[in-house]
């Protein structure tokens, strides 16, 4: 069982209100090429590199949305690790 990514454990329709989801296959099977591309491109941000030459305003909206989501998720996971330790 893992925390529901749709509601972060609060309970929603996706997890039938339990806040947890039973995973019966490898979670990596859920990630398509677009997810891997987004993870790779946002990892370059940590080194100050953007995928499209120019500044932040030159990047695509979908990239900025993905970077914001992935950055928030990474921060949330780091915080959860600190709480457990
Ligand atoms: Zn949920």
pLDDT at res. 84:
86
Read off the pLDDT of residues 45-82 as tens digits, 9 standing for 90 and up.
888 999 999 999 999 999 999 999 999 989 988 998 99
**Are residue 35 and residue 19 in the same domain, yes or no?**
no
Same domain, 24 and 48: no
State phi, psi for 26 to the nearest 5 degrees. -65, 125
Q: How does residue 5 score in pLDDT terms, banded at 50, 70 and 90?
A: confident
Domain count, the chain: 2
pLDDT at 10: 95
Supply the range of the domain harboring residue 15.
Answer: 1-30
Same domain? 49 vs 13: no
Residues 35 and 72 in one domain: yes
In the block, which residue shows the tokens 């030459």?
53
Distance 66 CA to ligand 1 centre (A): 20
Together in a domain, 26 and 38 = no
Q: How much distance in Å is there from the Cα of 21 to the middle of ligand 1? A: 8
* Residues forming beta bridges with residue 21, ordered by sequence position: 2
**DSSP alpha helix (H) spans, 33-60:** 33-45
User: Residues 48, 70, 31, 82: what is their CA dihedral angle, to the nearest 10 degrees?
Assistant: 110
Residue 38 and residue 70 in one domain: yes
Residue 28 has pLDDT above 90, yes or no: no
Cα(48) to ligand 1 centroid in Å equals 34
């Amino acid at each position: 069982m893992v925390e529901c990514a749709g509601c972060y454990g609060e309970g929603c329709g996706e997890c039938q209100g339990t806040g947890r989801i039973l995973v019966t296959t490898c979670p990596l099977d859920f990630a398509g090429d677009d997810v891997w591309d987004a993870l790779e491109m946002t990892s370059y941000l940590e080194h100050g590199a953007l995928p499209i030459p120019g500044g932040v305003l030159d990047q695509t909206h979908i990239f900025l949305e993905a970077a914001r989501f992935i950055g928030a998720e990474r921060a949330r996971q780091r915080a959860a690790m600190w709480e457990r330790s």
